[in-house]
Amino acid sequence: MKRNIVIDTIIDSELIDPGSAIIIGLSGGPDSLCLLHALDSISDAYNYELVPVHVNHHLRSEADAEAEHVEEICDRMNLDCRTYDADCAAVAKELGISEEEAGRNIRYQIFDEVADELMEDGVPHEKIVIALAHNADDQCETVLFRLLRGTGPHGLAGIPVYRMSASGNTIVRPLLTVERKDIEEYIKDNKLRPNIDKSNLDNTYSRNKIRNELIPYLEKNYNPKIKEALRRYAMLADMDDVLIRKIAFSEYLESVEVDEDEKIITLDLTEIRENQPAVNSRILSYVFNLLDLESLASFENISDLMDLIYSDHPSAGVDLPMGIRAYREYNKLIFSAGDEQIRADENLRMTPHIVMAKDFHPDEERPYAAFDFDAFDKAYPGKIGELTLRTRREGDFIPFKDGNKKIQDFFVDAKVKRNARDSVLMVCIGSEVLWILPNEFFTGERDREKGRFSSKYHINEATDRVLFIEIAEFI
């Protein structure tokens, strides 16, 4: 029976020990429902405690109904479903990330919180496991997606079957070698009624386009077993990556020195300069992780640092994200994350204009902000000349849709380093901030590229005149 493919795979994987408390990420879709049902089928034999967790992201009109359906499923299985609400759209906007990324971050945070609650209830940490329902087709789509985006070997290893969460909890994916068609067969055989996410059919999303268009095209025109080939490639890439990272981690521990007081990390190059670049690139990734730069570092950052490692010049340096400086001193590579205050660019000037809405055609290559002038003039009649370009002051705030936010709180939420906050320029009138300019020290991509705008004077269809603000260097 197809049902045995799912259950046998879970058992044979040996990812979950008998007597485990299993936190199950349960969207209610076919994959997670299949995993829940299969684990429930063997829970008595293996003494499992099942803890289904559903996160309502509130991104689709069906979200509330799907949450209710998930709770009904768990009720019928005599399981207590823990349901959480999350405003993913607001988090995505606040941090300048996609809604998908915001949802993922929230889910993993909640899984860790549930693990903490289980430990408070007396469950040993080593008995807690987080089980997610990614399948073999997800693995193929992930490899292709990352390949198209230009990832390195670590990314081509795809989704790991086992890893640790940010809080040190075990995450496993027991269905990662099970094909989607076998999961669908399991759903049919067991007469299960999963939630169906209609957005999976929307090919405006890159991942859906890969699933619904690219893979079928490759199967038809190039290789009918392309999914099997991609899974095999991911497995081989993972084997190589695990080995190289293990070697790199051992050398990293022997070569790295951390000065917490001075906030300096020193990498001794005496031995590692003899390494192959593949090993040293992984060593650098461990350093980036220590500096909280892993998600911000680019290929160019790695290339620049590799040049420093292998260069014959005893001294040179490169700038990294978040104001961190890496520099070479003979056989040492030093990463400085000190608290020396980073100052604003004093060579910038602000120029406000008033233009008719019909004539508003900004140069997208230059930083600018645009607001409804008449709305601004109503709040501050005749005071356009009082607009200033400056750094933060006590009492500054920026209007958002849900109310004003203190600039200090905004910087904290945006994870701007304390020593970089006085480098952020803002267009203000009094204590009210209209525009927080783009700045490299923001963690969100949107904030780094465009900055953050007040929601108080938005341009709309009724806008007659536009307050257009440009930023340029002094001539």
Residue 390 has pLDDT above 90, yes or no: yes
DSSP readout, 174-213? TTTTS-HHHHHHHHHHTT------GGGG-TTSHHHHIIII
Domains of the chain from N-terminus onward: 2-203 (3.40.50.620), 232-336 (3.30.465.60), 348-473 (no CATH)
Of 339, 402, 309, 306, give the one whose Cα is nearest residue 91: 402
pLDDT confidence bin for 205, thresholds 50/70/90: low
Q: Ranked by mean pLDDT, which of 9-13, 199-203, 301-305, 443-447 comes out on top?
A: 9-13
Collapsing DSSP to helix, strand or coil, 8 comes out as helix
Tokens representing residue 394 in the block: 């006590």
**CA of 231: how far to CAs of 32, 136, 225, 402, 428, in Å?**
20, 7, 10, 46, 54
Render pLDDT for 129-159 as a digit per residue (tens, 0 to 9). Answer: 999 999 999 999 989 988 887 777 777 788 8
- 385 Rama sector, left if φ>0, alpha if ψ -120 to 50, beta otherwise: alpha
Render pLDDT for 5-20 as a digit per residue (tens, 0 to 9). Answer: 999 999 999 999 999 9
Q: What is the pLDDT of residue 341?
A: 66
Q: What is the pLDDT of residue 342?
A: 74
Taking each continuous run of H as one helix and of E as one strand, the counts in the chain are: 17, 20
Q: What is the pLDDT of residue 148?
A: 84
pLDDT confidence bin for 296, thresholds 50/70/90: low
pTM over 0.75: no
Of 275, 302, 273, 300, give the one whose Cα is nearest residue 287: 302
Residue 308 has pLDDT above 50, yes or no: yes
The residue assigned the tokens 């008595």 is 44
Q: What is the pLDDT of residue 37?
A: 96
Q: What is the pLDDT of residue 315?
A: 64
Helix intervals (H) in 121-162: 136-149, 153-156
Asked whether 469 and 350 are in contact (CB, 8 A), the reply is yes
* Pick from 154-163, 174-183, 386-395: least confident: 154-163
